[in-house]
């Protein structure tokens, strides 16, 4: 029987492929017939159809073998936002991304799809139906976001159709779903230690939470539509569930779905913000003696107490994007995927 050869254009590399989003990307790409290389500093899972390359993206010599023969590279690697390590964010997200671009060009990769973040325009004040052409935040909410801005600028300005190298950035917001190590586990941890009693503000602020499969879908569409002279070249695209929901309703649905009580007492936004700021200053002074990772940071209070939802009309128009999984189904699937986080008694 003749074996059908996989077209060379279907070989890709997922940088950060061992992470939460990366792993979902890999599974969907394999399902769509791509030959997939994963590049990461750690091996997060096993897959018989995937080639794993371990290394640091800041080192071009580590990266090059993983990019060999690939036409598309997806760059979804980043230090965890909660690590709050300024030097590490700068090194990996900014300097490392320059290395990624250089290595892609050297290896002959034709398309680079960056996972950016909708937060690159967020300064801690309300954004309603935000468009991609809002200016980058002058005062980003944290170091992580500061370096996501530098990273996105670097990738978009590297778009070079003459040099046969095309780039695009996907800006998701509040990714959640099975195996997310961040949103649901942090929430459950806070609930277990009795910290999820308060609603910051009036609880009416709408926010985007985006199911991981929709984020993956947006990335794959971007890679497939990115062509010379297409309106995608060098542009950013919001990818959301297109169903903004009150932040505290989303939190409550996750908490009650896992058997915890929903927060019910209101605390004014400004009070929560200044308390978190004061707390982080105290922790900074104490850092030489004791290291604590606080649950309530000024950044989280800002995210929990303001409106921040984004339009994905540009993605609908130019990528043909439409969320594949609606919010209700996404929450259900997520809750079902965390049996070990259900409250026992
Ligand atoms: N989780 C969220 O809500 C959102 C995430 N994003 C972006 O999506 C991307 C993926 O995020 P997640 O999957 O949630 O994070 P994650 O922490 O699960 O995955 C990131 C991966 O990058 C790898 N990595 C970190 N430093 C590296 C280095 N120097 N060399 C090679 N690999 C390295 C890590 O080992 C990890 O596997 C990131 O770029 C993040 O900024 C954007 C918007 C929202
Ligand atoms: C303790 C509570 C007040 C809130 C707990 C939930 C939070 C851990 C999450 C709610 C919104 C999330 C979010 C991100 C991380 C996890 C949350 C703060 C990001 C900062 C992840 C990286 C990004 O690029 C932007 C995200 C915005 C929303």
Say if 285 falls within a structural domain: no
Say if 170 falls within a structural domain: yes
Ligand 2 binding pocket mutation candidate from 303, 308, 334 (most atoms within 8 A of CB): 303
- Whether residue 165 contacts residue 106, with contact meaning beta carbons closer than 8 Å, is answered with no
Taking the C-alpha atoms of residue 47 and residue 51, their distance in angstroms, rounded to an integer, is 8
- Write the DSSP string, 158-222: T-BTTTTBEEEEEEE-SEESTT-SSHHHHHHHHHHTT-TTEEETTS--EE--EEHHHHHHHHHHH
Say if 191 falls within a structural domain: no
pLDDT at site 8:
53
- Whether residue 134 contacts residue 308, with contact meaning beta carbons closer than 8 Å, is answered with no
Query: 């300097």: which residue's tokens?
Result: 95
Say if 340 falls within a structural domain: no
Both tokens assigned to 100: 């990624």
pTM: 0.95
CA separation (Å) from 47 to 5, 52, 294, 327? 20, 9, 36, 29
Say if 114 falls within a structural domain: yes
Both tokens assigned to 13: 């590399």
* Residue 247 CB–ligand 1 contact under 6 Å: no
Catalytic pick among 34, 143, 144, 310: 144
Secondary structure (3-state) at 14: strand
Say if 24 falls within a structural domain: yes
- Whether residue 117 contacts residue 145, with contact meaning beta carbons closer than 8 Å, is answered with yes
Under the banding of pLDDT at 50, 70 and 90, the label for residue 287 is confident
Instruction: Find all residues with CB under 8 Å of 127, minimum gap 6, and list them.
Output: 121, 134, 306, 307, 308, 309, 310
Evaluated on CA atoms 273, 274, 278, 284, the torsion sign reads: positive
- Whether residue 330 contacts residue 253, with contact meaning beta carbons closer than 8 Å, is answered with no
d(CA 65, ligand 2 centre) in Å = 34
Please, is 207 exposed, middle or buried when counting C-beta atoms within 10 Å of its C-beta (0-12, 13-18, 19+)? buried
Q: Which domain holds residue 136?
A: 10-181+208-241+309-325
* Residue 25 CB–ligand 1 contact under 6 Å: no
pLDDT at site 122:
97
CATH number at residue 140: 3.40.50.720
pLDDT at site 1:
37
pLDDT at site 23:
98
What mean pLDDT, rounded, does the chain reach?
94
Helices (H) and strands (E) in the chain, counts: 12, 15
Closest CA to 226 of 301, 165, 150, 279: 165
pLDDT at site 270:
95
Secondary structure (3-state) at 37: strand
Say if 219 falls within a structural domain: yes
Quick check: 244 pLDDT over 60? Answer: yes
* Residue 119 CB–ligand 2 contact under 6 Å: yes
Quick check: 256 pLDDT over 90? Answer: yes
pLDDT at site 306:
97
Taking the C-alpha atoms of residue 212 and residue 126, their distance in angstroms, rounded to an integer, is 24
95-142 pLDDT tens trace: 999 999 999 999 999 999 999 999 999 999 999 999 999 999 999 989
**Number of domains forming the structure of the chain:** 1
């Amino acid at each position: 029987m003749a074996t059908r050869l996989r077209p060379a254009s279907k070989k890709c590399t997922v940088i950060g492929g061992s992470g939460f989003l990366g792993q979902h990307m890999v599974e969907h790409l394999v399902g769509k017939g791509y030959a997939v290389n994963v590049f990461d500093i750690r091996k997060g899972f096993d897959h018989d159809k995937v080639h794993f390359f371990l290394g640091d993206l800041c080192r071009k010599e580590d990266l090059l073998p993983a990019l060999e023969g690939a036409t598309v590279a997806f760059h979804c690697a980043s230090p965890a936002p909660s690590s709050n390590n300024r030097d590490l964010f700068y090194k990996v997200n900014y300097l490392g991304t320059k290395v990624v671009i250089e290595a892609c060009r050297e290896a002959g990769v034709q398309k680079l799809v960056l996972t950016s973040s909708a937060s690159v325009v967020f300064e801690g004040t309300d954004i309603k139906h935000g468009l991609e052409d809002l200016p980058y935040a002058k005062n980003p909410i944290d170091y992580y976001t500061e370096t996501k801005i530098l990273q996105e600028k670097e990738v978009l300005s590297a778009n070079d159709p003459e040099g046969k190298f095309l780039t695009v950035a996907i800006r998701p917001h509040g990714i959640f779903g099975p195996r997310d190590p961040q949103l649901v586990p942090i929430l459950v941890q806070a609930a277990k230690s009795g910290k999820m009693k308060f609603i910051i503000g009036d609880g009416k602020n709408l926010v985007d939470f985006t199911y991981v499969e929709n984020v993956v879908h947006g990335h794959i569409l971007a890679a497939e539509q990115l062509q010379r002279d297409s309106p995608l070249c060098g542009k950013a695209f919001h990818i959301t569930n297109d169903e903004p929901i009150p932040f505290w309703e989303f939190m409550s649905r996750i908490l009650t779905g896992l058997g915890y009580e929903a927060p019910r007492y209101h605390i004014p936004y400004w009070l929560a913000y200044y308390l978190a700021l004061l707390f982080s200053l105290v922790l900074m002074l104490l850092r030489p003696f004791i290291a604590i990772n606080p649950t309530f940071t000024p950044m989280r209070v800002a995210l929990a107490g303001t409106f921040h939802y984004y339009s994905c009309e540009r993605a609908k128009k130019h990528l043909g994007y439409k969320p594949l999984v609606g919010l209700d189904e996404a929450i259900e699937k997520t809750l079902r995927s965390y049996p070990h986080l259900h409250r026992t008694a």
